[in-house]
Chain A
């Protein structure tokens, strides 16, 4: 357990000192949000309708952008071999890295989302479901993304391939995540969509570290 916490703390420290931590992700999130009105026009009605879906897509992209560094740096400098040799099972090491990734991307985005939703003129009843759904659903981005990151860890230009591998896995979460907001704004019950997001997160929490660790072992052997 102490190895798990040590690895988590190391990754968080690295994220804060080298990559700017959560702020870089937030800056990306903000920039993309600023591009939307510039791209589709500043009609408030249109923006308000598209806001929830767009913020979910932006969250997926923000996760994707940082995913290709998830194992890459460690694979290059040999840290990954050390992790595989250590007492901590590789599956738990993957989980620690996913958790660190989510704490620096998914979690800050969830809290920033209402502010950006305000910029995009989203109706106020959507704020709570948007934040909650991002909190519950965005771990899937880090977890399922880790599978793709592990598969492409040893490759020199894995970034583009990574998005092709991972985006299909994001489809259900984006559908139900944005669904929670549009259902709430339509005055319907969104409990089912929330339950689905929770199920997807738990499912990924159990299976993704196994698959990602198996993929990492390919590159280590």
Chain B
């Protein structure tokens, strides 16, 4: 992994990978959402509103996944002090915040017809909201500290502290109150992992989830390339100003 941490190598590699990532993201999301909107039968209780699930659940996955990604990038940045890892964590944060917000908004829209309310202070909703605050704090600290290297280390420390705290928050809000259903896409049954929804609904959901993952990496690579270019321009301009 460190071999590709060289910005030049990263630029080459990401330029090669980006078209594939875009194609995969668009194809998977396109197929998944087409199935979700036109093919999957309406739920016997929830009717057509169940289709929100195909946006809501992948967004929730991505919200947590991206924070995990940022954690790994932050640890790499703290240990090896590599600017590319810092850039990866920094550029992932707004995408993660958007997915988390999308999860909250779609969940709220889904909650109104199903639970009869847009928002309740339920365990999963609350922990997702706290996750959004963690993202915002992370973005906030990047923009508050001017010196890039210092901002990177401060943000990395914050991210690591947040990861330690997430399970505690998760556990404590669950103990506190819960209405949201438990994890129900896959369950342990008779000692093995088995899907608990019909394949006709499982595949579009997985495709949407995978599509979101590819979308994340595509967006991340574009953002990181922009960041590298921005840094280069700044160096060039300060060199010119000094000359």
Using CB atoms and an 8 Å cutoff, list the residues of chain A in contact with chain B.
Answer: 147, 151-152, 154-155, 157-158, 161, 164-165, 167-169, 171-172, 175-176, 179, 196, 200, 207, 211, 214-215, 218-219, 221
Contact = CB atoms under 8 A, between A and B. Distances in A.
B157 A169 contact: no
Contacts of A151: 141, 154, 157-158
Question: Does more than half of chain A's interface fall in helix, strand or loop, or is it mixed?
Answer: helix
A155 B126 CA distance: 30
B164 interface: yes
A165 B169 contact: no
- For the complex of A and B, 9 pairs with smallest distance between CB atoms: A172-B172, A165-B137, A164-B137, A218-B153, A168-B130, A175-B172, A168-B133, A175-B176, A151-B154
A148 to B, nearest CB: 8
Interface of B: 126, 130, 133-134, 136-137, 140-141, 144-145, 150, 153-154, 157-158, 160-162, 164-165, 168-169, 171-173, 175-176
B144 A169 contact: no
A25 B161 CA distance: 27
A165 B155 CA distance: 10
Nearest to A166: B137
A195 to B, nearest CB: 12
Contacts of B136: 164
Given A175-B176, A221-B150, 9 more contacts: A147-B158, A151-B141, A164-B140, A168-B137, A168-B165, A171-B173, A211-B160, A214-B157, A219-B150
15 contacts: A147-B157, A161-B144, A164-B133, A164-B136, A164-B140, A165-B140, A165-B141, A168-B130, A168-B134, A168-B137, A168-B165, A168-B169, A172-B172, A175-B172, A218-B153
Nearest to B138: A165
Contacts of B126: 171
Contact of A168 (B140, B141, B162): B162
B217 to A, nearest CB: 27
Given A164-B133, A211-B161, A215-B154, A171 B141 contact: no
B70 to A, nearest CB: 15
Contacts of A171: 126, 130, 169, 172-173
Contacts of B173: 171, 175
Nearest to A155: B144
A165 B150 CA distance: 17
Contact of B157 (A176, A200, A211, A221): A211
A99 B82 CA distance: 35
A161 B139 CA distance: 10
Contacts of B162: 168
B140 A167 contact: no
B172 A155 contact: no
Nearest to A160: B140
Contacts of B171: 172
A207 B165 CA distance: 12
A167 to B, nearest CB: 7
A211 B126 CA distance: 25
Contact of A158 (B144, B150, B165, B168): B144
Nearest to A219: B150
B176 A179 contact: yes
Contacts of A175: 172-173, 175-176
B175 to A, nearest CB: 8
Contacts of B154: 151, 215, 218
A155 B133 contact: no
A207 B161 CA distance: 9
B79 to A, nearest CB: 12
A179 B177 CA distance: 11
A154 to B, nearest CB: 8
A161 B172 CA distance: 24
A15 to B, nearest CB: 26
Contacts of A219: 150
A161 B137 contact: yes
A210 B217 CA distance: 33
Contacts of A161: 137, 140-141, 144
